Amino acid sequence: MIRSPLMTVMVDAVMKAAKGLRRDFGEVENLQVSRKGPGDFVSAADHRAETVIRESLLKARPDFGFVMEESGRVEARDGMHYWHLDPLDGTTNFLHGIPHFAISLGLVRDGVIVAGVVYDPAKDELFIAERGKGAYINNKRMRVAQRTDTLDAVFATGIPTIGRRDHPGFLKQLAKVMVKTSGVRRMGAAALDLAYVAAGRYDAYWEQGLNSWDCCAGALMVREAGGFVSDAWGKDDVLAADTIVCGNEAMHAALLTMLKEARSVA
């Protein structure tokens, strides 16, 4: 387990917000049967969680900046450190009463991801990683899966939603992957998809249309668990890209090849 002062600060902030999300999720389940629906309530829950985390982090590290899904970018006083925060990843799941969502918090120093926390309040699973110190789930060391044959593998992905580009392109990717794997999962929370690859639950994962707060923490976890992470063209800087591909060395390479083949389909 990682017991650094930095990780203590991050976990404490996330856990404070998780209490509220857990309570709000119970209310959402009740709101499902109402005529108005839970949309406005969930938006408020998202913002409340972000406020709790932001205030906690500012108190502990006042010179650090923020890159946030809800409130945008806040410049760092020290010019070096930025928290990348998604207070509710898997909002659509939350909105529908599906217990698969997470808080994702990553720290970037001079463009390098140095720490990450992903917490699933519904299942009480805490995924953490710090650069050079490994990745853990609830105090247990994580390792990526060791399968090398894609026919035995389960891959995860994210499907482009309304307003996202290139649905036909994604269908070409899916067609390539489906025939060469044991199965493809779409669970609706990118941070947990990445954490599950780090934990060896998924063999590989790819998605397009992501932002840094979606993948910052999870990308570090995969790498610290022995995996490989890149964009869809094999480049390392996933924070600057809007695609991500990850898995162990063999699965990462195989998935990159499948995506390349999909791009060549007329």
CATH class of 150-263: alpha beta
Cα–Cα distance, 18 to 125 (Å, whole number): 11
Asked if the 5-141 domain carries CATH number 3.60.15.10, the reply is no
Give residue limits of the domains in the chain.
5-141, 150-263
The residue among 137 and 97 whose pLDDT is bigger is 137
Tell me the HSE value of 35 on the side-chain side, using a 13 A CA sphere.
Answer: 0
Condensed to tens digits (0 to 9), the pLDDT of residues 104-138 reads 999 999 999 999 999 999 999 999 999 999 999 99
Q: Is 1 exposed, middle or buried (0-12, 13-18, 19+ CB in 10 A)?
A: exposed
Condensed to tens digits (0 to 9), the pLDDT of residues 16-61 reads 999 999 998 888 766 654 444 555 567 788 899 999 999 999 999 9
